[in-house]
Structure 1
Amino acid sequence: MASPLLDGDPAAIGPYRLHGRLGGGGMGQVYLGLSPGGRPVAVKVVRAALAGDAEFRIRFAQEVRAARRVGGFYTAQVVDADTEAGPPWMATAYIPGPSLHRAVGDHGPLPLESVAVLGAGLAEGLGAVHAARPIHREAYLEQAR
């Protein structure tokens, strides 16, 4: 569920053509992109203010290494990254669909059975993330799909 690119947004990051905005936070912006072969990806691009911070770049490189170790059915796999680029970025598999926040906002509370399935999937995904021992920075309801 991407919103349109804005004036000033890049047309491409690395080999990925950007087609919309998926979200953003304190660290940067996440775009919907397409690989050269046409595969959809989510491209996380670091904000310019942080990209110039040497310590931040080191932490971002650590985050990318940790994210590459995460596996599991309920996580988006890292497919590419360039922590030395200006600005640094990471591309993950794109998982289509509304965020949990939007789904509940649009349709109201989920049925109990759906909550149970979602809870089990989130627990399995978080277990895979914690097993990789990443550095947690941002975790939002909007990220749940």
Structure 2
Amino acid sequence: MSGLRAGDPQRIGELTLVGRLGAGGMGVVYLAQGSDGRLVALKRLREELASDSEFRARFRREAAALTRVQGTCTARVLTVEVEASSPYVVMEYVPGPTLAEHVAEHGPLRGEMAHGFAVGLAEALAAIHRADLVHRDLKPGNVL
């Protein structure tokens, strides 16, 4: 996680933004906190794309797809707000390092840890496929 940058909002809806978890071509993912203290991940369409109807439609499709994924090893969608001036999706926050970070610090997974990880990853992919989706960016940096 990194700190908020100049231009990042301090709040979105009822959530206070704590920091940045990541960013991609279409959006920024923030760590956010509710008034109850609960931490969540909030993915927001980039401000510069929010007025583009094509990107809004794409974000709307992505949000709808995320809500169809139901698995024990996937983050659950909590809120979808696609009509906001800057659309966003709120999901469960899953603390912990990515697979890439873990391997860089501790070396390759072995034994029971490798087996448990493989089972969890297979369950997550099965849940994604049951929703008629294909994960197009499966890589160690995107797996927790």
TM-score higher than 0.5 = yes
Percent identity over the alignment is 45
Q: Is the 8 A contact 1:63 1:134 kept in 2?
A: no
The change in CA–CA distance for 1:73 and 1:15 in structure 2 (over 3 A counts) is same
Q: Is the 8 A contact 2:128 2:134 kept in 1?
A: no
AA matched with 1:12:
R
Question: Which residue is 1:38 aligned to?
Answer: 37
Residue segments in structure 1 that go unaligned for 5+ positions in a row: none
Question: Over residues 5-38 of structure 1, what are the superposed CA-to-partner deviations in whole Å (9 max), with x where a residue is unaligned?
Answer: 1222110122211001111111221110012222
**Distance in 2 separating the partners of 1:38 and 1:14:** 15
The change in CA–CA distance for 1:106 and 1:73 in structure 2 (over 3 A counts) is same
AA matched with 2:63:
V
SS class of match (1:31)? strand
Q: Residues 31-110 of structure 1 correspond to what in structure 2 (within 5 A)?
A: 31-110=30-109
Question: Which residue is 1:142 aligned to?
Answer: 141
Question: Which residue is 1:118 aligned to?
Answer: 117
Question: Which residue is 2:3 aligned to?
Answer: 4
The change in CA–CA distance for 1:135 and 1:14 in structure 2 (over 3 A counts) is farther
Residue segments in structure 2 that go unaligned for 5+ positions in a row: none
- Computed over aligned residues only, the root mean square deviation of the Cα atoms, in angstroms, reads 1.7
Question: Over residues 73-116 of structure 1, what are the superposed CA-to-partner deviations in whole Å (9 max), with x where a residue is unaligned?
Answer: 10000001211112111110001111111111111112232122
**Distance in 2 separating the partners of 1:4 and 1:40:** 15
SS class of match (2:109)? coil
Q: TM-score, normalised by structure 2?
A: 0.90
Q: TM-score, normalised by structure 1?
A: 0.89
**Distance in 1 separating the partners of 2:136 and 2:50:** 16
**Distance in 2 separating the partners of 1:63 and 1:135:** 12
